[in-house]
Amino acid sequence: MRRELLLEKIEQLKELMPWYVLDYYQSKLAVPYSFTTLYEYLKEYRRFFEWILDSQIYSGHTIADIPLETLEHLSKKDMEAFVLYLRERPLLNANSHQHGVSQTTINRTLSALSSLFKYLTEEVENEEGEPYFYRNVMKKVSTKKKKETLAARAENIKQKLFLGEETLGFLQYVEKEYASTLSKRALSSFQKNKERDLAILALLLASGVRLSEAVNLNIKDVNLNTMIIEVTRKGGKRDSVNVAAFAQPYLKDYMTIRASRYKAEKTDIAFFLSEYRGIPNRMDASSIEKMVAKYSENYKVRVTPHKLRHTLATRLYDATKSQVLVSHQLGHANTQVTDLYTHIVNDEQKNALDKL
């Protein structure tokens, strides 16, 4: 979704919201949350508030009228009823025999609500320096996560990683072979954005940064001499991230054409740009996700930017056997999350042994 369209849709949702959600939104701009994340959260709040009205938990007629007191006095049973509603409500597609949304979607909804309730009960201050209220019902709501061992999860994702020579093979495929699969019309668009797209792919594969961290990169954050970038991690913390040397030529090629190709002025500080009707814009998360999916599907298997992050982490662990180094590279607070990569690498080792 283009940035202008995304901001337009955000404004439409903001017009529906109670004043305290607008306060929440404003506070998260300073963290900063990406506009894509905020848009998704606002959609979840609209769905939740519409359910409150439909269930007559609040007897008003508009979302904007729902008072803080309604949220303060929601019970655990109310929230369980909301989750049940999500599970069982008919989908909009009349041809579908499926009812309800997926568990992943439910977890995302509850995560968005947890963020809002944490803000209202812990982070915000009223005139007396106190939160708006203290009772956080979301702390009593548990999410049902998919049960699987790390070994099973490793088995599920390993086929979607570009390990070993496939990392550079993927980049070389996009650079040298992908164009031959395109129509004349698609070829023109590819050629315009080729250097930029390759730079994005190379950066994700060489650094393991999150999609939002790549989107929010500015020119001043990238040092192509030292191959270190400055990113804003979750929680608003700034971090320096090393980038593998193989990404350097791709990033330099992009910087050579960035200003002329995307009509960038000095005021256009975003590192990765798109251009629409002669106006440069920061490339948004949705566009990068679609771009990664398009190239990866043509090369091997359709993947997300997060799978490219997994690829870097797995390769780094394979080279260092250090969960601490992998954790630092990914911006994790501890090594628990990196346990996954030990299972992927161990499986790779087993496959190598089987070939002996």
Which residues carry out catalysis?
210, 234, 306, 309, 332, 341
Parallel/antiparallel/unpaired status of strands 228-232 and 238-242: antiparallel
Report d(CA 4, CA 10) in Å as an integer.
Answer: 10
Q: Is 40 helix (H, G, I), strand (E, B) or coil?
A: helix
Rounded to the nearest angstrom, the gap between the alpha carbon of residue 211 and the centroid of all alpha carbons in its chain is 5
Q: Is 275 helix (H, G, I), strand (E, B) or coil?
A: strand
Task: Give all strands of the β-sheet with 222-223 in edge-to-edge order.
Answer: 222-223, 228-232, 238-242
Report d(CA 34, CA 286) in Å as an integer.
Answer: 11
| Residue 289 structure tokens | 């996700």
Report d(CA 191, CA 4) in Å as an integer.
Answer: 24
| Residue 61 structure tokens | 């007629």
